[in-house]
Amino acid sequence: MNILELITVAYESIRGNKLRSFLTTLGIVIGIAAVIAVMAIGQGGRAMLMQEMEKFGVNLFAVYVNYQDGEGQRVGDLQVSDVILIKQSVPEVEHFAPLSYNSMELRSSRGSQSVQVIGTTADLAAIRNLDMVYGRFINEEDQSGARRVIVIDEETARKLFGNNNPVGEHLVINSNSALVVGVFKKDTSMMSFDSRQIAYLPLSYMNYMTSVPVIHEFWGSATSKEEVDNAMERSKKILERRHNAPGHYAAFSMEQEMQSANKITGIISIIISCIAGISLLVGGIGVMNIMLVSVTERTREIGIRMALGARRKDILVQFLIESIVLCLLGGIIGTILGYGGAFLVAKIAKWPPLVSWWTILVAFLFSTAVGLFFGIYPANRAAKLNPIEALRRE
């Protein structure tokens, strides 16, 4: 018998025992579906992270005080003059801005709102790719003149001024006042560093209002993605030399953060895939069990085939193909269900379900391998039957 005939015989045997065949392949179906879904969701999630990273800025980096050296943040650890020096001395740095954080209450005639106030300079708009809805961001004149101006996010503007354009309106910050010069669209992506409402002030005005003015970190953007590491390292070394504090400063880039996140999601996907693979093992054992039952039930049929000239090799191949066909059918159904589950999860999470061709190929190869591995023993047992004793079996 040729391969096509053997596949036809295998299909007829499976068709003759529909319920048993379905229950046999159920473990394979569940295992393949779980593996496909996990891999597709993982790939889609990683693709979404990369998209968010590119939106946030692939050439972004931050420099901050290294608290692990045993010392906390001190006044003067980071200074505005550091920003000027780094921008002049490091050609790989395109934009560089200080950030000072504080929680304050903003008040208008319509109400009040607690926000995270960030004192900074004009460069931050370019670093963060801020999208202005109304007005403008802080400029160099605001910083040099310690102007009492403020830039708020859309949500804060809505709560304090309704749906009207608030540019030109005044806000009370603690016991001080500030003129609203701009409204920006708040970053709602997964890469947003803060979920609270945010307002920006010129750092010089922020220092005026704060009893102990401290710059918490510097954010910068390199001239290109390839220059991020150079820009980051050279900026850190300048700070160490200028403040005579080796090891007192640390830095990280957005690319490093994303690589770490990518690695973690990859490990999680592998672990979950391994857990899902257990059902494939259980399914394979089920296939072997049913094939052993099939060999016992068809002992007389095997004897007749051998008497008519079938070789042991033919019997071995016949039962192996039946096992492989069972697993392949389970693989096809599992792939369809896995892709459907991944598509549903991706639709809810609003990211693309990515099922690559190699994922499907791996699923089919794995199904075939399971059928081959767990079908060898029953097929070998069938091939070793004595034709005379097989014919005597009722």
Residues 85 and 131 placed together within one structural domain of the fold: yes
Of 31, 35, 6, 2, nearest to 360 by C-alpha is 35
Per residue in 49-71, pLDDT tens?
A: 666 666 666 788 999 988 765 55
Given 247, 282, 312, the domain boundary residue is 247
**Residues facing 135 on adjacent strands:** 182
CA quadruple 135, 191, 178, 205: dihedral sign = negative
Per residue in 186-241, pLDDT tens?
A: 765 544 545 578 999 999 999 888 877 889 999 999 988 888 889 999 999 999 99
User: Is 177 a domain residue?
Assistant: yes
Mean pLDDT of 7-25: 73
> What's the rounded Cα separation, in Å, for the pair 169 and 178?
9
Q: Running DSSP on this structure, what letter comes out for residue 373?
A: H
Of 87, 72, 107, 327, nearest to 214 by C-alpha is 72
> What's the rounded Cα separation, in Å, for the pair 141 and 213?
20
User: Is 148 a domain residue?
Assistant: yes
Residues 192 and 132 placed together within one structural domain of the fold: yes
Residues 138 and 280 placed together within one structural domain of the fold: no
User: Is 65 a domain residue?
Assistant: no
Residues 37 and 157 placed together within one structural domain of the fold: no
> What's the rounded Cα separation, in Å, for the pair 119 and 104?
12
Domain around 224: 72-247
Q: How would you classify the pairing of strands 217-222 and 93-108?
A: antiparallel
Mean pLDDT of 176-193: 77
Contact present, 354 and 47 (Cβ < 8 Å): yes
Q: Which helix (H) or strand (E) holds 150?
A: strand 149-153
Please state the pTM of the whole predicted model.
Answer: 0.63
For residue 190, the model assigns a pLDDT of 45
Residues 21 and 136 placed together within one structural domain of the fold: no
Supply φ then ψ for residue 223, to 5 degrees. Answer: -65, -25
> What's the rounded Cα separation, in Å, for the pair 116 and 112?
13
